[in-house]
Structure 1
Amino acid sequence: MLYMAENTFGDIMDKVVVDLGCGCGTLGLAAMLMGAEHVIGVDMDSDALEIASSNAIDLETEMDFMKCDVGKLSWTGSMVDTVIMNPPFGTRKKGADLEFLSTALKVSAGAVYSLHKTTTREHVQRSAIQNLNAKTAEVLCQLRFDLPVLYKFHKKREVDIMVDLWRFTPN
């Protein structure tokens, strides 16, 4: 995701980047290591943010973290250059992925990179353009995620999920 964002579009190096739903900080920390000017990780899980902060220390890089529900983020206007995220897929909580995308498009001045289930491609495309004020919505590639049991609500030991890597631009 980040390699393509930088090498194809120049959206990481020397940019202000936010990682929405950052979890343990993987995407945000990768952006810092790739030369982002500043990165902010946003997540509502205190334990995940503690791990992300520890990972930043281990990698000897600085990244800011903010505890907040992405849907309740009160930033107004284009606050960052690039948003990167691997949002919840909206399987357990319907529309969770589009809630993240809505916030991302509101705070980004440049581009939003996001992963969404391939089975929702047409819905994501239509929602982004018609309802979320995206200027463009492009699938850059399709990936296969091997999703192991991570949460109590996961019923299978592991599942392969086809996922689209999207690049959106805000209006």
Structure 2
Amino acid sequence: MVRNKKELEIILEKTPKFKSPSKKLEQYKCDSSIASELLWNAYIYGDIKDRIIADFGCGTGILSYGALILGAKEVLCIDIDYNALSIAKKFLGNIPINFPIHYICCDIRKISLRSIDTVIMNPPFGVYIRGIDMKFLEQAFEMSPLSVYSIHKYNPKSHKLITKLANKKGYATQIIAIKNMAIHATYKNHIKNVHRFKISIYRFVSEGLNNG
């Protein structure tokens, strides 16, 4: 059993990188300190253990990995990139955990799921496909989960749009952390070895649950 957030962060560093990261899909290995922050908060709030988890845009599986070792009952790894999903499947398949893991290759914008307790995701920031981060959020709310955890670039203007969308879909918005994310040089046009920028980690909770 993982005892604390730092231990979780160290474990998550084992997650493999993308073999041929797509710039259009904004693929990069999520900073393990950011992933552990999201997952540990979700665990403390009771949104991971014994829950059915959907990982939107799972990539090579860092959030799914964390959810599994924190006691998720079932995990759905969803990504549009078959190659990334294959890496995740190979990696997660070696974990000695007997809970079901499902791998779904599809466009998040076209999927329909029910009976999901928690959605976790590190969506594209919308650098190459404008507004894609909001599409991910909107689709997460459409699944009617109890809670959603998501990473977004820190931006007061974007925060207003995110909160407005959440309210419209019946979810209360909470920023659980504001941190600096580090992305190591991934594409040929990356000049810096490490690019750092501020992100917000969000928790959204169904208003129906709050009104309980």
> Is TM-score (shorter-chain normalized) higher than 0.5?
yes
2:161 matched to which residue of 1? Answer: 123
Q: Does the aligned pair in 2 maintain the 1:106–1:170 contact within 8 Å?
A: no
Q: Confirm or deny that 1:34 pairs with 2:70.
A: yes
Counterpart mapping for 1:97-136 below 5 A: 97-119=133-155, 120-130=158-168, 133-136=169-172
In 1, the alpha carbon distance for the partners of 2:145 and 2:112 equals: 16
CA deviation profile, 1:70-126 (whole Å, cap 9, x unmatched): 011133xx4300000000011221111011001111114210000000023233222
Q: Confirm or deny that 1:12 pairs with 2:48.
A: yes
Aligned to 2:85, the other structure's residue is in SS state helix
Residue number among 76, 89, 102 corresponding to 1:64 in the alignment:
102
1:149 matched to which residue of 2? Answer: 185
Q: Does the aligned pair in 2 maintain the 1:41–1:66 contact within 8 Å?
A: yes
Counterpart of 2:74, as a letter, is: H
Residue number among 162, 178, 201 corresponding to 1:165 in the alignment:
201
Q: Confirm or deny that 1:2 pairs with 2:39.
A: yes
Q: Does the aligned pair in 2 maintain the 1:134–1:168 contact within 8 Å?
A: no
Q: Give the length in aligned residue pairs.
A: 165
CA deviation profile, 1:31-75 (whole Å, cap 9, x unmatched): 111111000000011111111011112223352110011011133
Counterpart of 2:141, as a letter, is: L
Q: Which of the pair is proportionally richer in strand?
A: 1
Aligned to 2:152, the other structure's residue is in SS state strand
Counterpart of 1:165, as a letter, is: I
Q: Does the aligned pair in 2 maintain the 1:20–1:100 contact within 8 Å?
A: yes
Shift of 1:155: 4.0
Shift of 1:169: 2.1
Counterpart of 1:51, as a letter, is: I
Counterpart of 1:138, as a letter, is: Q
1:48 matched to which residue of 2? Answer: 84
In 1, the alpha carbon distance for the partners of 2:75 and 2:124 equals: 21
Q: CA RMSD in A?
A: 1.7
Structure 1: stretches of 5+ with no match in the other structure? none
In 2, the alpha carbon distance for the partners of 1:57 and 1:11 equals: 23
In 2, the alpha carbon distance for the partners of 1:100 and 1:116 equals: 11
Structure 2: stretches of 5+ with no match in the other structure? 1-37, 208-212
What TM-score do you get using the length of structure 1 for normalisation?
0.89
Aligned to 1:58, the other structure's residue is in SS state coil
Shift of 1:30: 1.0
In 2, the alpha carbon distance for the partners of 1:149 and 1:134 equals: 38
